[in-house]
Chain A
């Protein structure tokens, strides 16, 4: 959940004069000048006045610029949280947040894509845009420097950035500096001048003679925080001159002296509130009332902000506040000095309130500060998965590290947290070890938590096994996991839903890879539904992305449709190139290639490759390699195909269980060797296969292909017999299509034209529903299509599609010109003619009336000089009016 309070709303009421704040004209002018450069860095120590300057400047500049303002949270360990907050601020400034959802957090995080997204949102308006990021030194995640450097050096034209930091950062901005596009403002420029000091005092209503003001200026050395603190104390002081004289005469450090003075002047309830709430990162009136055991906190906080006493509200409604960091650090020290015994209890109170209000990470931090390690451990165990799914694995890691080494014994759940962190980083062996440790504690866990622990162990264990490709293990665990549980607390249910969605995803994926497609489909659909219900879009997309492959049990058309839906959903969240979408991209490419759309298939295959991590799941990478191999084979690049098949086999080697596509990889490898004339190699591979596996249909086909290469068609027919009569098990009907085609080739070689034609007819009949093209290409049986008698309309279209796809790369044939060009709408209709859709169906596809379609078709026939549909199609092909692309049933919104 992003912290939008870190992003100041661009429309804070301008011109609201706050006491004690003056308009520092010269400094603002300096910043105006600096901001003409691309990047301005304001680098000055705590309390120098950076934030006031930035806010004042932003309010003024907001007249002619779009301003996105954010402050980095203290100790920000989660890169994604920072970037999502920045993106939200940018979207708010550019108006893009009207009508579209903000991107949700994801477990994995692609920094490059996120930086690109921010930059493109900044540039999208085309108007002058200023990014203001305060407290940049608080970024505490690795690669913060690189990511920031990327952002600042790639700003679009019209965009500028101003950043505030307490110390010089190792940003590599030499390019900007060399180009004169880098400006700096340092502590020296931020110091108040004597004149400004006088102005400040005057605006706070403090009347002092000139030399006294000069004394104050000298003592504080123009330090903004010192002057502000002084003004707070002086405002209602009975003897301001004496105050300054004493202050001057003291050697105490400015901050401590003036803070103590300021605090002393506050009524006791204000003092108590400031001290007790100083240990919070952010405070609201409820929390303040709780920690002070009082009721008047709201008024106090608002008054403090109005008095400009280092308290700043974070939202337009002024419900949440944050203290100036240095101020709260000093208060905390004072708390430690004066009320040390109260501190653990204050942390505890805060922790419970925060936990109840959905801020588990902060709550855990407070429990740790109170030394309640056991409770902190339990809370972390319960929330680690949720935090990780929210993209806050960085926070989880830091919280985990903060436990003392011995805490592991009191809190066996911590082993579970370690396992979650390991799984997130794909450290599988370590995850396994930690899960073992966690399960060894299961018996000693209190009964109220046993159920939760068992479910967590089962679900995480399942994830581990899936990542290792240990399919059998997955199925063993799944049964126990998915039995519906009863009598659960709300914490159980929340955690349970996350675990359930994750478990269904992992189970569904494993079932898909094991070709239990019906089960896979059922579980993935359920997983997507659970994910949608609990608001976890990333899990929803993950389930739907794998659904495409599972849907091949029905048809390639359905698979295609579901892949496209998943890709569109992913694109809506900006995950078009994210690994979560890779399964859909790969399955779509696969479906397109099977149905002869080689070019489009190649496009999606490239996208699938780019979306797949090099260390990603072997199952996906296997599918990508296999699909690539099929494409090469279809285009006649058999050597390339062999390389890809080999790569696919390497992926299999990384998995514990056998991936269902492996036997096809093996079979096609042998068949390709045979086709290339490397018969001995193929034969040797075949001999190495054990008998039970060799009886499988896919392997039988390969054996037949070898026989054909050995010029023994009769033996080939014998190999194919069990496949054709149904006695050999097959993974899918695709194998049978291939078998018929091989049989047709064998018969032709035997001179039996009639049986050959019959086999081709059977192949076409099976291939028709899905409009399969690939088997005809791979086996080379497409050559036999010409010998077939003319077909009925739909079959003819399929034959034409096959030939067209195969000849797609052939040299262009001369086109006889058209007397009259076809219009765009006529072309659209023409592209549907090769399909077996009726006119009403075409009308539905194009969202026009059936009459419109008929009119178009009449005109098409006339212009092409065709008498019927098939001759119109043929003429269309000759004229290259039909691309090799079949019309899409749906448009895909691709991500930017």
Chain B
């Protein structure tokens, strides 16, 4: 694990309108069916937990959190 920013995808129930999206400026939203996927780069885990706290505070229904591994970079230390 290095200190490079990490790409996360967060899936929530429902479509996020313009108001809610102002809470996630770092993310790009994509509507998939009745769900929304937010994709964005975060510096580290602490930032992720900050985002999750916002999701909790706004009463959103969290479906999935995924860390996206870049395909071209293989970490030689990865297990």
Contacts and interface: CB of A to CB of B under 8 A. Distances in A.
Interface of A: 45-47, 166-167, 223, 225, 250-257, 259-260, 325-326, 329-330, 333-334, 336-337
Contact of B16 (A253, A259, A326): A253
B45 to A, nearest CB: 18
A347 B57 CA distance: 22
Interface of B: 12-20, 22-23, 31, 34, 56-61
Given A251-B34, A336-B22, A225 B59 contact: yes
Contacts of A225: 59
B22 A253 contact: no
A91 B22 CA distance: 44
A257 B57 CA distance: 16
Contact of B13 (A45, A47, A253): A253
Contacts of B15: 250-253
A337 to B, nearest CB: 5
A47 B59 contact: yes
Contacts of A45: 56, 59
A254 B31 CA distance: 16
Contacts of A329: 23, 57-58
Nearest to A226: B59
A250 B18 CA distance: 15
A342 to B, nearest CB: 15
A441 to B, nearest CB: 33
Contacts of B60: 253, 255
Contact of A46 (B18, B31, B56): B56
Contact of A166 (B18, B19, B23, B56): B56
Classify the secondary structure of A's interface with B.
helix
Nearest to A259: B19
Given A333-B23, A336-B22, A337-B22, A167 B56 contact: yes
A259 B60 CA distance: 14
- Residue among A223, A253, A326 with max Cβ neighbours from chain B (10 Å): A253
Given A251-B34, A253-B13, A337 B18 contact: yes
A253 B14 contact: yes
A333 B19 contact: yes
Given A251-B15, A252-B17, A333 B59 contact: no
A329 B23 CA distance: 9
Contact of A330 (B13, B19, B31, B56): B19
7 contacts: A45-B56, A47-B59, A253-B60, A253-B61, A255-B58, A326-B59, A329-B58
Contacts of B58: 46, 255, 326, 329-330
B14 A251 contact: yes
Contacts of B34: 251
Nearest to B20: A256
Contact of B57 (A252, A326, A334): A326
Q: Which 4 A-B pairs have the closest CB atoms?
A: A253-B14, A251-B15, A46-B59, A251-B34
B70 to A, nearest CB: 30
Contacts of A223: 59
A115 to B, nearest CB: 28
Contacts of B20: 253, 255-256, 330, 333
A252 B14 contact: yes
Nearest to B58: A329
Contacts of B61: 253
A336 B61 CA distance: 23
B37 to A, nearest CB: 13
Nearest to A340: B22
A257 B61 CA distance: 14
Contacts of B13: 253
Given A47-B59, A252-B14, A252-B16, 15 more contacts: A45-B59, A46-B58, A46-B59, A252-B15, A253-B12, A253-B13, A253-B15, A253-B20, A253-B59, A253-B61, A255-B58, A259-B19, A329-B57, A330-B20, A337-B18
